[in-house]
Structure 1
Amino acid sequence: MNTVNKALPGWLQALPMGAVFAVFFVLPLLLVAAVSLWPQNEYALEPGFTLQNYATLFKGCPIDADTGGLCVTFKTYLSTFKFCALVWLITLVLGFAIAYFVAFHVPSVAAQTVLFTVMTIPFWTSNVIRMISWIPLLGRHGFINQALMDAGLIRQPMEWLLYSDFSVVLAFVHLNTTFMMVPIFNSMMKIDRALLEAADDCGASAWQTLTQVVIPLTRTGILIGSIFVITLVMGDFVTVGVMGGQQIASVGKTIQVQTSYLQFPLAAANAVVLLALVLAFIVALNRLVDLRREL
């Protein structure tokens, strides 16, 4: 079998996986791009060619003449970028801290396995169920507000706990911290412990060891986790809808609303712009770390 594999050219061995990639990834993207150039019709999808969908998407941008502020599209993307930045920062801090503790302070592989199993248990349930579980805690008459009022710390319920930017970010962090933590943990487990001992022998403080040894050697995991988290947040519409009370705008939510109103060409144009921004972000990150070489 090995002899046969060596005899086959590399491109031929990669052909089956390449075909699957083309059919289930490239072809759908090309179809979305094609639909974004079709004329908008309220009753049917009619093939054609027009840039009107992109013109409609960026109508009045960057400054809307009627309101004097940013156009709706720019506001929506800024809202999405805000969630991405906040969630990325919080998940990075939490994921790095948890991964560091498990990798360097948990002595045995068995204990590490148990901890990881416990941390992945929530993923055995639906994202929607995990989000809804926050509502009895954060609601106007939820557990947190009632507990604070009973303790005399507040006189009336805090409205910003639920259906707000806070609740959306909280749900995103809850859902995505593991996607940041696991790649960082994998990178940390590959660090030669002799390097840490050498840093200690040279008189490096714990902070110097962290910033000059651990963080540079885990940059691949940080990059992969960042790609996971930001791409998931950028396209999400369920979390924003449920935890934002259908009142907070995001790009994913906008696309979902457009498809519900059968505005498929406009939704496809929005999806193409979103995809272009996400790809630009991934390319920029790859310039910081060469993933092909590091992996």
Structure 2
Amino acid sequence: MSSYSLPEAAPVPALGRRRLTANLSWALLLSLPLLWLLVFLFVPVLVVLVVSFFQPTLSGFEQSFTLDNYRLLLTSGPFFSTLVNTVLSALITTVVTFLAGFWVAYYLALVVPNLRSRFALFIIALAPFFTSFLIRAVAWIPMMGREGVLNSALLSLGIISAPLDFLLFSNFAVRVAMAQLYLLFMISPIFFSLSTIEPAVLEAASDMGARWWNILWEILLPLARPGIVIGAVFVFVLSMGDFATVRLIGGGASTSVGLSIQNFVTYMQFPQAAAAASILVLVTVLGVVLLLRWGAIGEDL
């Protein structure tokens, strides 16, 4: 009569060691990006926050606690109007890049027939971003100047009788330039979101009698929402902190908090610069939280 025995279970200590090794591996893997964030993000932000409470002096600051820096900025009419203009420019840039970038991403992801052509056109759309940010910003000056290409073309066609001054060194010029500079940050995430949509889904909706507007509103936009939110966060954050474009294209006629911070640093008013930076970070974070809430991302925030 034959007998058999059940296979022996793995010893509990061996399973525990393997689990501990796996946990240590994950902890080591996660520690590198966490260390990077700690050193290059959280520590600098903490330093800026601490300096914002120091007392300013003619040569820098002294380490005595004060709220005068925040009180001075928050009760200052020019700074408040600058903050409002910064937020408004960031919102307008975000909306404009979405309205323009969504259709570019839609064409690349769903209209172009094959994958190779999609990525070839995507690289072509990426080509302007192979050059420096400042070069692309400066390129708007001969384009939109009083004697620039756009004014010359409009005068030659007889559309206007005098050059348009608002095309350069104005809030309008800054927002147009920022929309072009940050457009790719909106196109890229929307493109990758729309690329996950099967064309058969759109064909089925059309066969069932859905109009183009219904397909856009009920299928495309909901499925592309994660990419839209990510692109909006990128564009909003970058626009809020931009000062180079404001200085170059604004020409003194446009202001931003980033430009104010640079001016504070130039005159060695480091506590006021730190306080302005802290306010800018706070407003930016609030804007990002609202965007994530709208996009149903991070429900536990």
Do both share a fold (TM > 0.5)?
yes
Are the counterparts in 1 of residues 154 and 160 from structure 2 also a CA contact under 8 Å?
yes
Map 1:1-295 → 2, pairs under 5 A: 6-8=22-24, 10-60=26-76, 71-291=77-297
Q: Residue 131 of structure 1: CA displacement?
A: 1.5
Give 3-state SS (helix, strand or coil) of 2:75's partner.
Answer: coil
The residue type equivalent to 2:40 in the other structure is F
The residue type equivalent to 2:82 in the other structure is T
Q: Residue 43 of structure 1: CA displacement?
A: 0.7
Between the aligned partners of 1:11 and 1:101, the Cα distance in structure 2 is 42
Aligned to 2:13: none
Between the aligned partners of 1:3 and 1:192, the Cα distance in structure 2 is 40
Q: Residue 155 of structure 1: CA displacement?
A: 2.4
The residue type equivalent to 2:281 in the other structure is L
Equivalent pairs counted in the alignment come to 282
Q: Please, which moves more after superposition, 28-37 or 281-290?
A: 281-290
Residues 22 and 166 of structure 1, relative CA distance in 2, 3 Å threshold: same
Q: Residue 225 of structure 1: CA displacement?
A: 0.5
Structure with bigger gyration radius: 2
The residue type equivalent to 1:198 in the other structure is A
Between the aligned partners of 2:117 and 2:179, the Cα distance in structure 1 is 25
The residue type equivalent to 2:78 in the other structure is V
Are the counterparts in 2 of residues 138 and 145 from structure 1 also a CA contact under 8 Å?
yes
Between the aligned partners of 1:286 and 1:260, the Cα distance in structure 2 is 35
Give 3-state SS (helix, strand or coil) of 1:26's partner.
Answer: helix
The residue type equivalent to 2:71 in the other structure is A
Give 3-state SS (helix, strand or coil) of 1:102's partner.
Answer: helix
Q: Residue 5 of structure 1: CA displacement?
A: 6.0
Q: Give the percent of matched residue pairs that are identical in Structure 1 and Structure 2.
A: 38
The residue type equivalent to 2:70 in the other structure is Y
Between the aligned partners of 2:74 and 2:20, the Cα distance in structure 1 is 55
Q: Residue 162 of structure 1: CA displacement?
A: 1.0
Between the aligned partners of 2:292 and 2:162, the Cα distance in structure 1 is 49
Q: Please, which moves more after superposition, 96-105 or 243-252?
A: 243-252
Aligned to 1:66: none
Q: What is the Cα-based RMSD across aligned positions, in Å? A: 1.9
Are the counterparts in 2 of residues 241 and 247 from structure 1 also a CA contact under 8 Å?
no
Any stretches of 5+ residues in structure 2 without a counterpart?
1-17
Are the counterparts in 1 of residues 60 and 269 from structure 2 also a CA contact under 8 Å?
no
Between the aligned partners of 1:237 and 1:59, the Cα distance in structure 2 is 23
**TM-score computed with the length of structure 1 as normaliser:** 0.90
Between the aligned partners of 1:26 and 1:7, the Cα distance in structure 2 is 25
Are the counterparts in 1 of residues 60 and 270 from structure 2 also a CA contact under 8 Å?
no
Any stretches of 5+ residues in structure 1 without a counterpart?
61-70
Between the aligned partners of 1:126 and 1:8, the Cα distance in structure 2 is 42
Between the aligned partners of 2:32 and 2:69, the Cα distance in structure 1 is 36
Between the aligned partners of 1:206 and 1:4, the Cα distance in structure 2 is 55
